Amino acid sequence: MKKWFLMGFVVIFSIVSSSVVVYGAEAEPQTFITKFDNTDSSLTGVSATTNLYFQILDYWEVDQVRLNLDYQISQLTKNDVSSVTLSINGMKFNSFRPTETSLEKQHLVIDIPKELIKQGSNVLKIEGAIMTTNGEDQCSLTETPADWLHIFKGSNVGVNYTKKEMPETIQAFYERFSGMDSVVHKEVAVIVPEKATPTELETATYTLSGSAKANGQDEQQIPIGTLNDSHLAQLPLVVLVAEYDHLPADYQTKIDKNSVKEQAVLKVIKKENQTVLVITSSDKKALVNAGRYSANEELMSETQLVSKEVSKDLDTATSHLKIEEDFQMTSTGDELKGPFHQEQTYFMSLPANRSLAANSQVNLAFRYAKNLDFDRSLMTVSIGGIPIGSKKLTKEYADGDTATFTLPPDIDVSGNFAVTVSFDLEIKDLQCTPRQDETPWAYISPESMMRVNTKDRTDLLFENYPFPFLKDGSFNQIAVVLPEEMNADYYRGLTNIFNLLGKYAQDNTGEVVFYSSSATKEELKSSNIITMGSALDNTFIKGINEKLYFKYDKDGAGFLSNEKLSIESNYGQQIGTGQLLHSPYTASNGLLVMTGATPQSVYLASKELSTQDKVQKHSGDAFTVDKDNRVNSYRFKKKGDIGEATTFVDKVKKESNLLLYLGLVGLVLASILIALILAFRKNRLDKEDNDEK
């Protein structure tokens, strides 16, 4: 499977849960609600469809699945000839006629038959036949802008379920720890000792990042904290990362000390109301490698053991991200049925530091019905809602057609994006009730591919975050410089930063190393640096104060005004900031400073980097946030390229056109100089000849 694509016929949805969770009681009924789409959606046409997706996890015992549909239809709708049909996984199960068109919103509750539900992804299809013509004209199916069905973003599918009994294995623990319901219900945490060492924090970060990617919940987080946090330490599913000597005594008694002298151990330990995965070792390198093991989804899903020993030399790496490749758009083929406009959408994802290059291509193989009105039938491909090409359908190629579209150079696509293939299937003289064999259709074949070529996005701006801290799907030599004393707010800040970085990371091969605030230049010069704290509790931040866009006053008590913002003294003590700068040690590396006069203000700043939606609101290289959630973004750097050349020679090497130009100029100047020398010599010889005469 391609590692850097998240693909499926899905809409991007947010997840919320209304269940009450009883810790440790797995048989307790729970409810998981999947809200469809972050925005309202409108279906237009006399035959409009949309697909909505929800998941059923393997360890759920499903009791009931219920659709809650909030919708509105055109006020001109003829209720007696209009209908909405629902199907699940290709099987129709309910049809109804919309009523009360004067209402702004209608609410409908429908149970979905359990026998039609399957584990994994389920497809709920909504087909609307919205008619606005008079009864005697209903055979004239002419689409108008008035034929619409509006689905509100509050629409959802609620699944009532109980969890199956959990086997005492690493695989079962990982499945639930990284499960979307466990994260949404806030049942999980990664914890370390109160005075965590850099090795323990590094290991915990790898564990956190791997599970954050696996659960797929952008708005939800796996917290990282300490054993002293009574709330986190008592959650139902906990990963405890600690060097063996730092483990609580009751855990040490369950793990042989001799077994962790030169290797690490992952062990599932069940308690009365809790299941804990302990990751421990007396060997620092082995402990870090165990963290990488826990971040490898394939290895964790294959480990059917209570305890697993991991040596420091064990190969735990996931396969590395490929930058250019052909991606299969559909593995089984997709059929679209019905007249008029039909479409299929494929959702994909790019690494954060890359965007689609202009030579990327969509290569489609498809076929379609022969009874179409070929004068009006069309196929169109769009990327990110922007059409990139269309092809007219012809009877000659109905049994096997192809089309290739190249991404235009004026389209900038990065991050998550959608490729939509739409067909306008028109039929001549369409009757009121066409025979089944006359139903128009189109089929997208599994041979359909997208050739993805990418280019770097190297501007040191939040719009390209998490670059430079991730590159091509891997942690990019990250050094984390911590304040002198970690507290709950600072751990919450780490939670925000590394949950999002973990969601972007596509493998477990990168490096994240933790340092105290007294870290030296020699330790940090090769790294992209993330630091948090204030000028009072982080000597690194104090030392780079003059390089910050928002600088502290001489006492380090608050921020000073600058060319972008006037800051009142008390207000300067309350705000938090995020700032993206060049590393003070190496201009080709980056520096992220999350800082404020108090730990709470640092936490507030970190929240702005906790989700993709929040990051996308910041286009510059700095932002401020206060306790009232007033957020402002700014741009200070005139040039944001992190690879910007610093000398004339570097710039010449970087610009091949400039090098060619300088070469030509040099050649011309040399030719002129030679011509002048020859002319001067000739003139002197002529003068000597005249003198002799």
**Average of pLDDT values for 537-563?**
96
Task: Write down the CATH number for the domain with range 170-311.
Answer: 3.30.379.10
Most confident of 39-48, 133-142, 299-308, 652-661: 299-308
Alpha carbon distances (Å) from 479 to 144, 208, 513, 515: 59, 17, 5, 7
pLDDT greater at residue 539 or residue 338: 539
**Above 60 in pLDDT, residue 546?**
yes
Instruction: Check if 170-311 and 325-452 are the same fold.
Output: no
**Average of pLDDT values for 441-470?**
89
Average pLDDT of the chain is 85
**Average of pLDDT values for 481-503?**
96
pLDDT at 616: 86
The Cα–Cα gap between 296 and 327 comes to 23
pLDDT greater at residue 634 or residue 49: 634
**Above 70 in pLDDT, residue 323?**
no
**Above 50 in pLDDT, residue 16?**
no
- Sort strands 454-456 and 354-356 into parallel, antiparallel or unpaired: antiparallel
Going from N- to C-terminal start, the domains of the chain cover 1-165, 170-311, 325-452, 462-634, 648-692
pLDDT greater at residue 243 or residue 212: 243
Least confident interval from 95-99, 238-242, 256-260, 686-690: 686-690
Peptide bond before 434: cis, by omega within 30 degrees of 0? no
Report the percent of the chain where pLDDT is more than 70: 83
Confidence at 641, pLDDT banded by 50, 70, 90: low
Fold topology of 462-634: Chitobiase; domain 2 (3.30.379)
Sheet strand arrangement including 120-129: 48-56, 120-129, 83-88, 91-96
Residue type, 201: L
Structure tokens at 569: 């003294």
**Above 60 in pLDDT, residue 582?**
yes
Secondary structure (DSSP) of 149-186: EEE-TT-EEEEEEEEPPPPSSHHHHHHHHT-HHHHHTT
Confidence at 40, pLDDT banded by 50, 70, 90: low
pLDDT digits (tens, 9 = 90+) for 96-108: 887 766 667 888 8
Task: Write down the CATH number for the domain with range 325-452.
Answer: 2.60.120.260
Most confident of 317-326, 375-384, 659-668: 375-384
- Sort strands 478-481 and 528-533 into parallel, antiparallel or unpaired: parallel
The Cα–Cα gap between 590 and 472 comes to 16
pLDDT at 653: 44
Confidence at 4, pLDDT banded by 50, 70, 90: very low
**Average of pLDDT values for 417-422?**
89
**Above 60 in pLDDT, residue 590?**
yes
We find that the CATH architecture of domain 1-165 is: Sandwich (2.60)
Mention every residue, 6+ apart, whose C-beta is less than 8 A from residue 536.
542, 556, 557, 597
